A and B are shown apart, each in its own frame.
Chain A
């Protein structure tokens, strides 16, 4: 073999070796745009780890998924039939470090029963009318609409809800709950340190429990309100006519009551205080119990 030929073969072998060592071609973002025919009350399950999920209700009997899959997303799976559809963003088995995730806008029939499971992806839902369940770790959750049932659970992401729900249940570790003008028949909220803010809300029943989260409520409670915290403060501002029986108890917190009656000590050896009084006919029952959190009752 001539010297030139040997050089050429060596160069070719070197290029091949380099190509092998370099590995497969770098993954890229890619767009998705898919549509499926479904029933008006289809059950939809959406799973994603990171990125963003936007769900909107519409009048068509179709699911439309449009968006972008990040570099390290393996694929988007859309499986099921007219009754039940699953939209799953598939990642490699072992995610190395941070992932950009997937950004999806999903239109579903407004009567759909929707469940969304995310880790750090933000979630935004609007214009749905049936049942919505969101399970998040750190993603922010923003919901608007009028629901039959609303269940939202988060670890550290904040929850922001506007609208109405016949039944609503929220669970958070440290994420805050901002329920603006939420009208509901039954509301349950449980946090460890997350705060709950309810403004302009007309409720039938509410149950709130927290370790150190604070509650700020402004609105009306028609049937019953039960509030219990370890050290979180409870601040209730009632609007309109108040027709309720109040029972408040705290071990070492303060009770500040604008309705008039003063709390009394329940034991000469502790700082425990109890306050019981009735406004109007006492139709509703408001019970508040804290260990060291303060209680403030106001009326507008």
Chain B
């Protein structure tokens, strides 16, 4: 195994998904390559640290009490104004900027923020209607662009495909090689190669959403292929 090949397989080695032959070849390379051993140690330490991170990190301070207080102050000020004698001038600007006066400005600002948030949430939730522009590739093909969401989808697909591989191997042993199974197996090698290539590139550039989608697409192609192999007509 060359140095570059070993570098590409370190992540899979840490994840425990390398085949027996590849694992042994990699371990043989590690025995003689200090650089790869250092990188492997760094990967393993990263995993240990990631596992120790909390599930949630609350914000540094809670903003709501101040907003709630500002809203209550404004409500109290309105009650006061409503009860005030007639003729008393009510300058808006005086109320806004008078020091120690009504805290209208912070309350208005809070209301504006809430309104903005409401608009953003509403726009995010409203799906395009039939007359609207079609959803973009990035919006339709993935579970969302967050690394956590992509990793979760990928973990599910990987597990399904691993189970499918085991089932397929059993099918081939029991039933022999039907022409359909032989054809599907030949294509399976091509899909596995596509997965390996896309994963290697994504590992080097984990922030690239195009690569994330390519890895997911390759796994979906594999799952679809396995489904073909398990169909009744493929056993004839």
Contacts and interface: CB of A to CB of B under 8 A. Distances in A.
Interface of A: 49, 95, 117-120, 135, 137-138, 155-156, 171, 173-174, 190, 192-193, 205, 209, 211-212, 223-224, 226, 228, 230-231, 247, 249, 251-252, 267, 269-270, 272, 285, 287, 289, 291-292
Interface of B: 133-134, 136-137, 140-141, 179-180, 183-184, 186-187, 190-191, 194, 197-198, 201, 205, 208, 210-211, 213-214, 217-218, 221, 224-225, 228, 233-234, 236
Nearest to A171: B224
Contacts of A174: 183, 186-187
Contact of A192 (B191, B211, B213, B233): B191
Contacts of A192: 187, 190-191, 221, 225
Contact of A228 (B137, B180, B191, B224): B137
Given A211-B191, A212-B194, A272-B210, A247 B236 contact: no
A173 B179 contact: no
A190 B224 contact: yes
Contacts of B198: 230, 291
A49 B217 CA distance: 32
Q: Say what secondary structure dominates the interface of chain A.
A: loop
A215 B183 CA distance: 21
A49 B236 contact: yes
A122 to B, nearest CB: 15
Nearest to A174: B187
Given A247-B137, A270-B205, 17 more contacts: A118-B233, A138-B183, A155-B183, A174-B187, A192-B225, A193-B187, A212-B194, A224-B134, A226-B140, A228-B141, A230-B218, A267-B208, A269-B205, A272-B210, A291-B197, A291-B198, A291-B214
